[in-house]
Amino acid sequence: MDLPRPLPISGINAPVWLVSDGAGGNDRQVHALADAMQLAARSVRVRPAAPWRWLAPRLTRAGRWAFPRRLRHDLRAPWPALAIGCGRQAALLTRLLRQWSGGKTFTLQILDPRVDPAHFDLVVAPRHDRLDGANVIATLGALNPVDDTWLAHAARAFPALAQLPRPRTVLLVGGPRRGLALDAAWLDAVIARIDDWRRRDGGSVLVTTSRRTPAAWRERLRGAFRNGCTCFWGGAEDGANPYASYLALADRIVVTPDSVNMLSEACAVGVPVITRLPPRAPAKLAALHRELRDQGWLHADDVDLSTLRQPPPLREIAAVASKIWHVIEATRPDVGARLLRAGERGEGDRAKRARPDGQRARRRG
């Protein structure tokens, strides 16, 4: 489901470029940050050609030829004031924009770019990436747009879901990834636990899968929970994706342990979040799970929900946006001035205004 965001702008004069490889998690993070900063932006999706794709963002020589002709035409002055990239493929373009523009473009990279952070003006990376640098802003999880307004809008998108009996247990399903032993037996154990809750508490089960979910898992989940009130979304054949509405209407969320994005979004809702992390998980992923558990946002599937004390939602993006504005205004007033002028003039097609008073309010928070 697409939620409201600053209207897109296009063309070489766009003051902000949002760069990603098109993967859902990366795309959501660049747009969420631009929204939090109140910036209208041009979306640029990149898939560099070989050999740059294999070595991105380390290989920069003759880098213009990594991109299709239509984008190459725009790789010239006037350069964007700000480029926000997410993911390794996007990091190639954000790194090159800083180089080609002679530093005129302020480059901000989300996630570990796999090169020295000094190649960018700022890097926003989760703590489990263990990235050090004077220009690194550390977060606990992935950036996301989840807040009260986002959830209220999402709840209205599928009004029939609000009529389902409570408690509503939402199951967010990713899939196996390198180093993480998720198999059919593991999935069966998750289904059995949710079935236990449903028999005890009644209510509804709302299931959604992702692109990484194996076909066999989809079929298993489509046939699960037949004795209760169940909603299932397994892909475009099931209509519009109700993922955001599921989050908005959840009383508890069960999430597979593989996706940093889904874990972060679930923990931003403000309801209990439960997962089942198998032994010998990758060190970085295990570190994220451990910190989320220690802070009270994440729980094992044997948690006693009746005595659980729920902490405030995990919402980091407003603070991150405020820090970025502070750095831009303190170190690159020319960039800050251009971004403000763009908002005041409505630069591009009906660009959303980025107001100085809005920025100051964020910094006070």
In total, the chain counts a number of residues equal to: 365
Residue 180 within any structural domain of the chain: yes
Q: Please indicate, yes or no, whether residues 137 and 154 belong to a single structural domain of this protein.
A: no
Residue 241 within any structural domain of the chain: yes
The CATH number given to whatever domain includes residue 243 is 3.40.50.2000
Task: Output the tens digit of pLDDT for each of the chain's 365 residues.
Answer: 444 444 455 555 689 999 999 988 999 999 999 999 999 899 999 999 999 999 999 999 999 999 999 999 999 999 999 999 999 999 999 999 999 999 999 999 999 999 999 999 999 999 999 999 999 999 999 999 999 999 999 999 999 999 999 999 999 999 998 889 899 999 999 999 999 999 999 999 999 999 999 999 999 999 898 777 889 999 999 999 999 999 999 999 999 999 999 999 999 999 999 999 998 899 999 999 999 999 999 999 888 888 888 999 999 999 999 999 999 999 999 999 999 887 665 544 433 433 333 333 333 33
Q: Please indicate, yes or no, whether residues 118 and 178 belong to a single structural domain of this protein.
A: no
- 17 — phi, psi (to 5°)? -110, 135
Q: Please indicate, yes or no, whether residues 295 and 153 belong to a single structural domain of this protein.
A: yes
Q: Tell me which of 273, 288, 307 is where a domain ends.
A: 307
Nearest to 111 by CA among 261, 229, 271, 276: 261
Number of domains in the chain: 2
Q: Please indicate, yes or no, whether residues 167 and 292 belong to a single structural domain of this protein.
A: yes
CA distances from 326 to 255, 263, 323, 359, 360 (A): 35, 28, 5, 9, 10
Instruction: Give the CA count within 13 Å in the CB-facing half-sphere of 107.
Output: 26
pLDDT tens-digit series, residues 120-141: 999 999 999 999 999 999 999 9
Residue 1 within any structural domain of the chain: no
Q: Please indicate, yes or no, whether residues 139 and 153 belong to a single structural domain of this protein.
A: no
Which of helix, strand or coil describes residue 2? Answer: coil
Helices (H), the chain: 24-36, 52-55, 69-72, 88-100, 148-157, 184-201, 215-222, 243-249, 260-267, 283-294, 317-331, 333-345, 356-364
* Residue 159: per-residue pLDDT: 93
Nearest to 97 by CA among 134, 125, 71, 70: 71
Q: Please indicate, yes or no, whether residues 230 and 266 belong to a single structural domain of this protein.
A: yes
The residue with tokens 């799970």 is: 289
Q: Please indicate, yes or no, whether residues 154 and 26 belong to a single structural domain of this protein.
A: no
The CATH number given to whatever domain includes residue 359 is 3.40.50
Q: Please indicate, yes or no, whether residues 118 and 57 belong to a single structural domain of this protein.
A: yes
**Residues 270 and 310 sit within 8 Å (Cβ to Cβ):** yes
Residue 11 within any structural domain of the chain: no
Q: Please indicate, yes or no, whether residues 26 and 137 belong to a single structural domain of this protein.
A: yes
Give the long-range contacts of residues 324-333, CB within 8 A, separation 24 or more.
Answer: 324/33, 324/37, 324/108, 324/122, 324/124, 324/137, 325/37, 325/359, 325/362, 325/363, 326/363, 327/121, 327/122, 328/82, 328/106, 331/121, 332/106, 332/121
Q: 257 is written with which tokens?
A: 């342990």
Q: Is the peptide bond before 167 cis (omega within 30 degrees of 0)?
A: yes
Question: Beta strand 204-208 with 229-233: parallel, antiparallel or unpaired?
Answer: parallel
Q: Tell me which of 286, 307, 328 is where a domain ends.
A: 307
pTM comes to 0.88
pLDDT tens-digit series, residues 155-169: 999 999 999 999 999
Q: Please indicate, yes or no, whether residues 68 and 157 belong to a single structural domain of this protein.
A: no
Q: What is the DSSP letter of 208?
A: E
Q: Please indicate, yes or no, whether residues 229 and 355 belong to a single structural domain of this protein.
A: no
Residue 8 within any structural domain of the chain: no
In which domain, by residue range, is 326 found? 16-143+316-364
